[in-house]
Structure 1
């Protein structure tokens, strides 16, 4: 299915044949984590029922993965630049596959969350290298198209995740999701070792910044975990400690010879800085959508996991269809124009979800999902193209990892905002029928907050300046 996306997009010379092999290998890897992420959201009610988990603890099943991935993303990208992107990519898929196996056999919520952390570590190594490898192989004139196909594959994973996840959860149980990822992971490892013959390491010989990586991990964990504890006082102190840690990290990275993250990429490169900021805002506003709607459709509307998953397919399916076209357009038209239009459509879709109620028509929900999918497709591929085309080759791994970190931190912030709203309006309790009105209020408030964030993101997207030159 993935290969069908690009079998006819490139010519059939030897070099282009190898490009297709690289593209297929990377897109297979890029399919894994979004498929797992979207399918596990549909399975959350079943997991919560088996382990008697409250809404906040349940939210840690997706959040634990995102936190681990964010912590290891930038260090993985730097390691890939130094030691080889293919090597880190392959190790990442291996770790991800092992973690999927362990999650499938876990017998407590805390073990499941721990193995999701390990899964996130492998996911960081996959995503910090995949886009960098594609950028290394494809020249600027073909890059947007290749990145668009890769983005479409991510959305294909997001599309199939809710449907297959709901189907598997309903008939085989939630553990079957992890077993499927074990099989897919083994396929990616075999194909990568078989087809990818080159190695990419433009920063080979430079030192790895261990201390900077440690500071980076500590401040990020403090920020995200602290955010999840709000409004408790301990959460506020952790957020403050994380913020101070961020300042320490920036100061350290400015003085070290070979930083894990070159902050000059943000100081001296407007396109890079504002494109990453736009990505952070966009994912902060959209990532909790599947989590919230999955719970809404099953608790309020009474759908089973399969039915909820089938409805949620609408958004990523539109993303998968339009992302390659958006990527191709961004090779010719300024990415900031295309991406900003996408952000505007996304804001409108989120605003519509703020009107969800007990009697909301299914047509309204699906139409809003289609609008969101179209907006996100217009945003994501051009934004990725802008970031990767704005840096030198030696920074491809770090740039790819930085973009992925913006995505993951945004996803964590999005989940954190959702859990904070649940904690404020519902408390740390299970979602039961007598609490459905408070749950529905929480969902509506969350979507209003997310729509407002997305409006701010439009201005960040427009402020990045031009990539191709001219007005």
Structure 2
């Protein structure tokens, strides 16, 4: 088989895997109000249907990226697909909100195995001059999943029931798994020496859980204690990793690589400021505007459609133009969209909402692909798995923080009660407060994006040498 065909197969297989998880996530968002009614779940518990998946994926993504670098990316990638297929089938059979959350945790573990390997496989398979283009294609596929999720999820929820969203994902996952087993042959491992950093993995997981759980229970005083414990865990984790000869996360990359550090920081802030948009708008469109899940899905599809169309071109553009410039422009456009959402009210026309979402889709496209190109091109090939995992960690941690902010505002304005039609005022106040915080965050992200320094393809940055 020719090299050209091999590369196309790699794009297809990694693209299918990259499609599954965002499609599942975005389609479930539209079904949340229906799930809440069936399980009598309050707004905070509904938030954990989404957050449990993100937290689980974030905890395991860096460890699995390291395992893939050491023992082979193919086996980790395929195992992740199998775990997602099984856990998604169980989610379709859930009889309570707690069982659904448990299944979402398993889905997060499987997704972590894919997130930590798919981008690394792509990066290792293509030369530097083509990297922005193929990463842009992958990002475009991701946002194709986000685009189809609300649309199909709304139709399925309205006419068949939310459980069939998971059934559809099982079928897609099985096709991807069978194709990977038959056609994905290379192992793509970079190193086999050294012991796996089990203690570092435990510290990493405990740290992330404490930070996210603490954010979710604020303003209760216990939330502050959890956040403090998470910050202490972060310090201990950094100390341990710096003294470890084979760390699960090479923190020295952050200390010695400005491009890698600030690109990851920009990604973290970007996702912190944007991920909860679909969650908040799904509640707004169905509870306040009174739209059906199908129509709400059609509205929410407008942003990811624009991003899916433009992401490949944005990635290719970052092969020719400094990624810092392209990504920062996208961040600025996103901040403008969030500022406009601050003026959302009960009578806002749908055309205004769709226009803002399309504007933000342009901003997402200009930011995501060039930013990923900058991150993956700034590290040595031996660290592709960890860098790929870190890209996804920033995304997932940012998404958790975004949902945490949304849940915090709901705790303040609504409380831990089931949302009812007579709560329009409290829900609207919560949504406005969230978008105000997100707009400020996005401005901070723009500053981080501009501070990353230059990364010309012909002049890669100096990478820390391993000892």
TM range (shorter): over 0.9
Aligned pair 1:341/2:333, yes or no? Answer: no
| Pairs within 5 Å for 1:79-118 | 79-118=67-106
Q: Distance in 2 between matches of 1:204 and 1:464?
A: 32
Q: 2:271 aligns with which of 272, 279, 283?
A: 283
Which deviations, in whole Å up to 9, do the C-alpha atoms of 1:145-183 show, x marking residues without a partner?
000000000000000000000000001100001111111
Q: TM-score, normalised by structure 2?
A: 0.97
Superposed displacement of residue 98, structure 1: 0.5
Q: Deviations over 1:305-355 (max 9, x none)?
A: 000001111000000010000000111111000000000000011111111
| Structure-2 residue corresponding to 1:302 | 290
Deviation of 1:207 after TM superposition, in Å, equals: 1.8
CA distance in 2, matches of 1:269, 1:160: 37
Q: 1:376 is matched with which residue?
A: 364
Query: What is aligned with 1:417?
Result: 405
- The aligned counterpart of 1:442 is 430
Tell me, in whole angstroms, the C-alpha distance in 1 between the residues paired with 2:422 and 2:94.
Answer: 31
User: CA separation in 1, counterparts of 2:40 and 2:341?
Assistant: 29
Match of 1:72 among 60, 82, 96: 60
| Segment drifting more, 318-327 vs 194-203 | 194-203
State the distance in 2 between where 1:296 and 1:434 align. 13
Q: How does 1:128-207 map to 2 (within 5 A)?
A: 128-207=116-195
Q: 1:236: Cα distance to partner?
A: 0.8
Q: Does residue 390 in structure 1 map to residue 408 in structure 2?
A: no
- Following TM superposition, where does structure 1 have runs of at least 4 consecutive aligned residues deviating by more than 4 angstroms? none
Distance 1:84 1:299 in 2: 47
Q: Which residue of 2 aligns with 1:59?
A: 47
**Which runs of 5 or more residues in structure 2 are unaligned?**
461-467
Matches of 1:282 and 1:210 in 2, distance apart?
Answer: 30
Structure 1 residue 364 corresponds to structure 2 residue 355: no
2:4 is matched with: 16
Residue in 2 that maps onto 1:292: 280
Report the equivalent of 1:325.
Answer: 313
Aligned to 1:331, the other structure's residue is in SS state helix
Please state how far the C-alpha of 1:206 moved relative to its aligned partner.
2.8
Look up the SS of the partner of 1:401 in the other structure.
helix
The correspondence of residues 399-418 of structure 1 with structure 2, limited to 5 A, is 399-418=387-406
| Counterpart-to-counterpart distance in 2, 1:251 and 1:419 | 32
Match of 1:7 in 2: none
Paired residue secondary structure (2:249): coil
Is the partner of 1:429 in helix, strand or coil? coil
Residue 258 (structure 1) aligns with: 246
Distance in 1 (CA, whole Å) between partners of 2:191 and 2:297 is: 43
1:229 deviation in Å?
0.6
Moved more, 286-295 or 198-207: 198-207
Other structure's SS at 1:200 match: coil
Q: CA deviation at 1:14?
A: 1.4
CA distance in 2, matches of 1:203, 1:92: 21
CA deviation profile, 1:436-470 (whole Å, cap 9, x unmatched): 11100110110111011001100100000001159
The separation in 2 between residues aligned to 1:151 and 1:226, in whole angstroms, is 31
In the other structure, the counterpart of 1:461 is 449
Consecutive unaligned residues of structure 1, counting only runs of 5 or more, are: 1-12
Describe the SS at the equivalent of 1:107.
Answer: coil
Partner Cα distance (1:16, 1:387) in 2: 25
Q: Distance in 2 between matches of 1:238 and 1:300?
A: 33
Match of 2:19 in 1: 31
**What residue number does 2:463 align with?**
none
Cα deviation for residue 71 of structure 1 reads 0.3
1:251-280 per-position Cα deviation (integer Å, ceiling 9, x unaligned):
000001100000011000000000000000
RMSD: 0.9
Match in the other structure for 2:236: 248
Q: Secondary structure at the match of 1:330?
A: helix
Report how far residue 358 of structure 1 moved: 1.0
Aligned equivalent of 1:219: 207
